[in-house]
Structure 1
Amino acid sequence: MLSQVDKQLIKSWRQYAIEPQLAKITGRVLRNTGPRIAVVGNCQSFGVAYAMKVLDPSATVDHFVMVARARANMGFFAKTLATYDYVFSHDFLDGHVRGGGSEELCRRLPKTLIFPAITFAAFHPDLIYIHDLAQMHGFVCGPIGPYHSAIGLFAYRKGLSLEMANALFHENVFEALGYFDVWNEAARELLDTTRERYGVDLSAELMNWSRRGVFMYSTVHPMSFVLFDLAKKLFEKVGLKPRAVNFNYYDVHDLARSEIFPIYPPIAKRFGALGGYMFKLQNHHISTTVGDFLTLPQFLASCYKIYGNYDSAKIGNPRVDAWLADEATSALLVRLARENFVAGRMPTL
């Protein structure tokens, strides 16, 4: 079965080698007469590619998503990308394309510009991943894909009941775990990484995003206006002039089709936003179904059921492991769960 990358490679050669010849024969005027741009990367790369098309409608912008394994090898992949005027790529590991990752692509095609993925944890400090060592770059999937709750995993591994697990989702627990103090570190990590590793300064952009309120669906899924601003920076970096455009009018919220991790109400309140405990399941078929959501009790119950299928040693996470290993932290969380449960301090939104 062909991956998205394989299909895009075929489409690319048709656009590059066949369609111009057909246009000459038929007299058809080609719509895209501007630069050819390739965007390679993870789930954020579509948003960047779409933004680049909005910034220059005359451009041919093709998107190569590095998610599944492709049948194509690195030689053919690099040869295809060489037909583009500009190549932008996220870092990606060996295995998506046979014969190498983004480092090998840059070696074969030096014009490739590696660009950053946007990550920001301040809105979702409880979100964690559980790595599945049996899979290539894989994760243990929960009820909303790879996203898990550190508090929920702690409660399960500590042997707390579902009622007690629910009672942990309270402001006093978030305070004890430092969840209200993540912004500065998240901002520093984002700005330092993008500037030092990728040569992209997003300090002004981060200030503007924060003024708009919440700008992430999860720690790794930014809203589309974030990716639009990143696309403008990338255009400027390679000498392309971004056109003035009201992106909000043409906005496509592609990553909203994926899983959405909620912003817990006490955390949202710190940012002047409305929070909740509604977990959204992925829905990439939004034209045929509206999708589904889970409440916090439903989410935790589903997590407990899934975790029960694994050996405890295989559902580890460094942060949760540290909580469990520290007697003071572990005892504090258990005590707060009991106090909240007895006092009726249970999440309601």
Structure 2
Amino acid sequence: MPQRSGPRIAVIGNCQAVGTAQVLRLLLPDARVETHAIGRLARQFRDLDGLVRHLRGADHVFSHFFPGGFLPGGNVLALQTRVPHLRLFPTIVFPAFHPDLVYVGDVASLRLSTLVHGPLGPSHSAIALCGFLEGLGVTATLGLYTDAVFERLGYGRAWEEGAAHLLAAAREMQFGLEPEFARWSRRGCFMHDAHHPRLPVLGDIARRLATEAGLKPLDLRVEDYLPDTLVDEAMWPVYPAIAERYGVPAQTLFRARPVRGRPPRMLDLPGFVSESFAVYARLPRERLVCARIAAWRADPGIRALFASAGGA
């Protein structure tokens, strides 16, 4: 295979950065594209000075936001002051198709190691966790997965609120996504779960990065040429009531992250809730921290909703 001799591009970020870099390699056949995971920056470069030295040889640097604590010496904004050609690009988070998904534990740290892991890794059902903390059993909790309950819990506002947050965050880093979001919305369900977009979304992000950097990406549909690497993450279903709301296909099975060489492990809703309860029962309650659940449990109306399910 001939060596690439074009521009050197560094992509820094979370799991979405891997797919973005993969698309850049496709669209820019001569580019030399490298990926650096935020969680491994300290191991790779020791501190901010080490990363700055490495990036000085890059023609283009594209990065997700990362806070302090990942790399001694500063966060991504400190990095940008020393690498002026660094371009921030947004992480795509959109919960409308999967509004029940929450993370549990120290979410603010942005580290997977600080999160509680259940049957699907770090992603949990807010209804299941609240049901457990309110003393419901599995059967009673399953009775809460209805459109009426979803509406009372605010899931019907997830599109409006999620779009507003995503678009505002993108504008803040001078990467407005209004045209792209309109296009994604017409495609149906464009997320694997609330935190993992499908490949065409990453394709649009990568094409924007390349074009606005003055490069000339190939004009092709990336999904026709590349595998979707985020399919290898755990997959969350679109509950039937949510699917009907948005006119997309319903899904009823949860899929754990595949283990190489083995068929994927699938769980229906009763199996997922049952296994989640088993995980929660083994943990001290102080580890079951989730801002959404705390807000629900502080709301007398929502607590009454869960209590009525327990008395049914």
TM over 0.5: yes
Give the deviation of 1:224 after TM superposition. 0.8
Please report how far the alpha carbon of residue 175 of structure 1 lies from its aligned counterpart in structure 2 after TM superposition: 1.9
1:83: Cα distance to partner?
A: 1.1
What per-residue deviation string (whole Å, max 9, x for no partner) do you get for residues 232-255 of structure 1?
111222222222113221132101
Distance 1:150 1:62, change over 3 A: same
Per-residue CA distance 1:150-205 (angstroms, 9 max, x = gap):
1001100000011001111112211221212221121111112101x111121111
Partner of 1:213: 188
What is the CA-CA distance between 1:63 and the residue it aligns to? 1.0
Q: Indicate conservation of the 8 Å contact 1:168/1:337, yes or no.
A: no
Say whether 1:236 aligns with 2:211: yes
Which residue identity is paired with 2:125?
S
Mapped partners of 1:261, 1:148: distance in 2: 10
User: Is the contact between residue 258 and residue 284 of structure 1 (CA under 8 Å) also seen in structure 2?
Assistant: no
Cα distance in 1 for partners of 2:51, 2:71 equals: 8
Partners of 2:26 and 2:311 in 1: how far apart?
53
- The answer to whether the 8 A contact 2:232-2:258 is kept is yes
SS in 2 for 1:131: coil
Q: CA deviation at 1:93?
A: 3.0
Q: After superposition, where does 1:192-271 map in structure 2 within 5 Å?
A: 192-195=168-171, 197-271=172-246
1:11-90 pair list within 5 angstroms: 30-68=2-40, 70-73=43-46, 74-90=48-64
Task: Count the aligned residue pairs.
Answer: 308
What residue is the counterpart of 1:188 in the other structure?
164
* Amino-acid identity (%): 35
Change (3 A) 1:134 1:49: closer
Residue matched to 1:344: none
- The equivalent of 1:327 in structure 2 is 300
State the structure with bigger RCO (CA 8 A, min sep 6), 1 or 2. 2
- Residues 20, 203 of structure 2: 8 Å contact kept: yes
C-alpha deviation, 1:338, in angstroms: 5.2
Taking only aligned residues, the RMSD between alpha carbons, in angstroms, comes to 2.1
Task: Give me the whole-angstrom Cα distance separating, in 2, the residues matched to 1:107 and 1:333.
Answer: 50
1:221 aligned partner, one-letter code = H
In 2 relative to 1, CA 133–266 (structure 1 residues): closer, same or farther, beyond 3 Å?
A: closer
**Counterparts of 2:144 and 2:187, CA distance in 1:** 30
Q: Could you say which residue in structure 2 is the equivalent of 1:110?
A: 84
Offset of 1:337 from its aligned partner?
Answer: 6.0
Q: Residues 177, 248 of structure 1: CA spacing in aligned structure 2 closer, same or farther, 3 A cutoff? A: same
Structure-2 separation of matches of 1:109 and 1:250: 33
Distance in 2 (CA, whole Å) between partners of 1:338 and 1:180 is 26
SS of the residue aligned with 1:128? strand
Unaligned runs of 5+ in 1: 1-28, 340-349
| TM-score, normalised with respect to structure 2 | 0.92
The residue identity in structure 1 corresponding to 2:85 is K
User: 5+ residue gaps in structure 2?
Assistant: none
**What is the match of residue 303 of structure 1?**
276
Report which of the two structures shows the higher radius of gyration computed on alpha carbons.
Answer: 1
- Comparing 252-261 with 179-188, greater Cα deviation is found at 179-188
* Aligned residue identity for 2:24: M
1:122 corresponds in structure 2 to 96
Q: Distance in 2 between matches of 1:153 and 1:136?
A: 20
Structure 1 residues 132 and 185, CA, compared in 2 at 3 Å: closer, same or farther? closer
